[in-house]
Chains A and B, each alone.
Chain A
């Protein structure tokens, strides 16, 4: 679903992403690890057509992002690191608004059922988002993905700042999404979560993909060792 080929992006003289090749298939959760500045966010941004590429291509569902920015966005849901919603609107209203932008008209009851599916309590769904925790807001994001039946989910450090329970809830949701056949690309620092939820793990360092592993093939401590080795190289 997500196909990144030879992607290169520079900011001035620094190379943010260097000749990156990365594929995420349906039903896969690909966890992208790497230090700050390794190029994870730039990779995700390239899939959102927010950066002008120096080389290579980013494709979603076979369509080049740069050629079809709006069509490719129809297929994906993006949840930024700190998902901000309109604080003066309720969870339902936020969901209806963003669904509407992709042409999906939701009734209130439908919106509630999606939010419920994403794990949000019904009474919270009616409250203003201003009072939501980060975890609750992310649930709205997931509800959006469900409502739009997104084939691609792009997540930028979704679990940072979540307490362990919320983080685990979120992992469950991701697994659900995977089972629905979504291709998930998640940038994260959380080695534990990457091993637990991910199907594939990529390690980036200074813009390059330096390693790619199957999550099932490694133990937690192996993963940490491999990661630290790459970072110190």
Chain B
């Protein structure tokens, strides 16, 4: 029976404009989105490779220079040019390491929050600077959003499904074939379901096929467990919209009413619910203005500066073994203080940063709970998570940078504090992020 209905559905559908429209347009949209996605990843990888190469050449240069000095082939004029000095290796100029959130395999599929939050940053002994690739981007881009696969899937695919499914039974009713259908020894419901399953398989097939073909062309690897999960998610999402179409076709509503109703649901799930959720979370957990934060930061810096001597003295009392007293070079006296003050500033700033973190986290938590009301939002969040471009992951950059800074400080600070310079062999041990 199923095969019979399928074969006749095929007879019908291959004569419909909606179907050919879908067959032509959907693969093109998917292709274009994946092209942009793979371009984005290529660029990201290029940026990462470029920075890593620069970093490597800097430290290689330091090592060569230090070897030359050790051999007596070269000498340096000033302390800040000496590659054996922990400050030169860990703090100044090009010194320091970049931490990257490497693009995940599915990253080409969803740009997520990448246009707003940075995916890499630089760590030195005192600084942790997230670097935004796109600070110069035209902000109109961010307003309109990325044309990524997630957009095609979450926003556009439902519209194609609605076009394919809004009138499956209502059109039979309008054209009069319903009367004959009713008198057949098969229930209308089972015919409807089978027709919908056929259309579902068509749309699903078009999506999956074009996804796979374009992915192979653009070098996106989907032949793994992640790819399977993606396909499962796509089938669930498509099934959801087809189920809505089934629902509308069960009632005795006209095709026009079905079209309006289904589009209305689309607007509801994709525009109304998200805007209401965003309204609720920002009203319940308002994040204070960053304008004030900037001045607050400055107040903290000033307070540390004002208490500078006291802070340093306390530190010396607490850490006598980490401070060399007596006739030490000027740079030592300057920088040992700076490190102490930087730490104090950092601690106080982190405390103050909570006023942003807390509402931000509450917002995210509430939003993720409310998202269940909108399958499109749920899918979008899931895709971003799989792509590693969601807010959570991008925010984790800060923690990764902090963790690495700790490692970095543990390597350099004790040597600096004891004024023990490095030998060229030791340069190989300079920590690097995984």
Contact = CB atoms under 8 A, between A and B. Distances in A.
Q: Touching in the complex, A and B, CB below 8 A?
A: yes
Interface of A: 48, 50, 69-71, 73-74, 76-80, 82-89, 93, 96-98, 100-103, 105, 141, 154
Given A50-B182, A70-B185, A78-B183, A101 B4 contact: yes
B176 A84 contact: yes
Contact of A97 (B8, B176, B183): B8
A80 B179 contact: yes
B11 A84 contact: no
Contacts of B187: 69-70
A86 B8 CA distance: 11
What's the dominant secondary structure at chain B's contact region?
Answer: helix
B180 interface: yes
B169 to A, nearest CB: 14
Contacts of A87: 175
A102 B191 CA distance: 12
Contacts of B11: 88-89, 93
Max chain A Cβ within 10 angstroms of own Cβ: one of B5, B11, B181, B191: B11
A83 B185 contact: no
A87 B182 CA distance: 18
Contacts of B186: 70, 101-102
Nearest to B175: A84
B229 interface: no
Interface of B: 1, 4-5, 8, 11-12, 15, 175-177, 179-187, 191
Nearest to A44: B183
A107 to B, nearest CB: 14
Q: List the 5 closest pairs (A to B, CB-CB), nearest first.
A: A84-B176, A78-B183, A73-B185, A100-B4, A80-B179
A84 B183 contact: no
A70 B1 CA distance: 14
Given A86-B12, A88-B12, A93-B8, A101 B176 contact: no
A184 B174 CA distance: 27
Contacts of A102: 184-186
A145 B204 CA distance: 38
Contacts of A79: 180
What's the dominant secondary structure at chain A's contact region?
Answer: mixed
B252 to A, nearest CB: 12
13 contacts: A70-B186, A70-B187, A73-B183, A80-B176, A84-B179, A86-B175, A88-B11, A89-B8, A89-B12, A93-B8, A100-B1, A101-B1, A101-B184
A84 B179 CA distance: 8
A48 B12 CA distance: 26
Given A78-B180, A86-B12, 20 more contacts: A50-B182, A70-B185, A70-B187, A71-B185, A73-B185, A77-B183, A78-B179, A78-B183, A83-B179, A84-B179, A84-B180, A85-B180, A87-B175, A88-B11, A93-B11, A97-B8, A101-B1, A102-B186, A103-B1, A105-B4
Contacts of A100: 1, 4-5, 8
B188 to A, nearest CB: 11
A33 B5 CA distance: 37
Contacts of A76: 183
A154 B15 contact: no
B1 to A, nearest CB: 7
Nearest to A45: B182
Nearest to B3: A100
B6 to A, nearest CB: 11
A80 B1 CA distance: 24
A100 B9 CA distance: 13
Contacts of B8: 89, 93, 96-97, 100
Contacts of A80: 176, 179-180
B176 A82 contact: yes
Contacts of B181: 101
B185 A101 contact: yes
Max chain A Cβ within 10 angstroms of own Cβ: one of B179, B185, B186, B191: B185
Given A97-B8, A100-B4, A103-B1, A48 B183 contact: yes
Contacts of A78: 179-180, 182-183
Contact of A73 (B177, B179, B184): B184
B180 A48 contact: no
B367 to A, nearest CB: 47
A233 B5 CA distance: 51
Max chain B Cβ within 10 angstroms of own Cβ: one of A48, A80, A93: A80
Max chain B Cβ within 10 angstroms of own Cβ: one of A88, A93, A97: A97
A83 B180 contact: yes
A78 B179 CA distance: 9
Nearest to B15: A88
Max chain A Cβ within 10 angstroms of own Cβ: one of B4, B5, B181: B4
Nearest to B14: A88
B177 A86 contact: yes
A106 B175 CA distance: 25
A78 B180 CA distance: 7
A153 B293 CA distance: 84
Nearest to B179: A80
Contacts of A154: 183
A74 B185 contact: yes
B18 to A, nearest CB: 13
